[in-house]
Amino acid sequence: MRVIKYVFQPHGDDRGQLVALEEFKDIPFSIRRVYYMYDTVSNVTRGFHAHKSLQQILVCIHGSCKIRLDNGKEKKVIPLEKPYEGLYVPNAMWREMFEFSPDAVLMVLASDLYDESDYIRNYDEFLEHVKKCGKITALDGE
Ligand code: TYD
């Protein structure tokens, strides 16, 4: 499966814009959790983990930030700067979030509830995991 950057349909009219996201229609999984980051301190990098099974879609609904994805073989930096764009992050993908603008709000739609046992927070363990499960997600989509 490819890493995919979704462009959601804004419903614009003379009052402004509205984006609606529905599971299995705009989002390829059941949305079991939503969380968001804001007031991120300048120059901070967050993330530094992968998930064993969790799938996510990252939407920078205000401001901008950058996401570094690493499939264990190659890395790619994807800027998120539009409230109608979503970056699909599959399981077995190391991610780091950085260069948050002071006004950035990064919203994450997740396929499951918070579960610390699904996290891989050690990079060497992540590389081992990728080797074991044989999952290298191509990074050629955007
Ligand atoms: P953390 O995993 O450190 O965030 P990041 O990966 O962006 O660096 O999460 C910060 C804190 O928030 C940590 O104490 C765990 C908690 N947390 C929850 O309680 N629920 C959640 O859904 C998430 C993502 C984090």
Complete domains list, the chain, with CATH: 4-140 (2.60.120.10)
Tell me which residue of 15, 9, 65 sits closest to 36, measured CA to CA. Answer: 65
Element (H, E) at 125: helix 123-133
Centre of ligand 1 to C-alpha 46, Å, is: 10
- Closest-CA residue, ligand 1 atom 2, reads 47
- For the segment 42-57, the average pLDDT, to the nearest whole number, is 97
The CB density around residue 138, as the number of other CB atoms within 10 Å, is 11
Q: What is the pTM of this model?
A: 0.93
Mutation probe of ligand 1 site: the residue of 40, 41, 46 with most atoms within 8 A of C-beta: 46
CA torsion angle for 41, 44, 6, 29 (degrees, to 10)? -90
C-alpha pair distances (Å), 136 with each of 1, 72, 82, 92, 131:
9, 7, 27, 8, 9
Q: Which of 11, 49, 62, 129 is catalytic?
A: 49
To the query of whether residue 49 is one of the catalytic residues in this protein, the response is: yes
Residue 2 clears pLDDT 70, i.e. is over it:
no
Residue 142 banded pLDDT, cuts 50, 70, 90:
very low
Ligand 1 is surrounded, with C-beta below 6 A, by: 33, 35, 46-47, 49, 114
Residue 119: per-residue pLDDT: 98
Eight-state DSSP code of residue 83? T
Side chain identity at 17, as an amino acid letter?
Answer: Q
What tens digit of pLDDT does each residue of 81-129 get? 999 999 999 999 999 999 999 999 999 999 999 999 999 999 999 999 9
Residue 3 clears pLDDT 80, i.e. is over it:
no
Centre of ligand 1 to C-alpha 116, Å, is: 9
57 neighbors 89 (Cβ within 8 angstroms): yes
- For the segment 29-57, the average pLDDT, to the nearest whole number, is 97
- Closest-CA residue, ligand 1 atom 18, reads 114
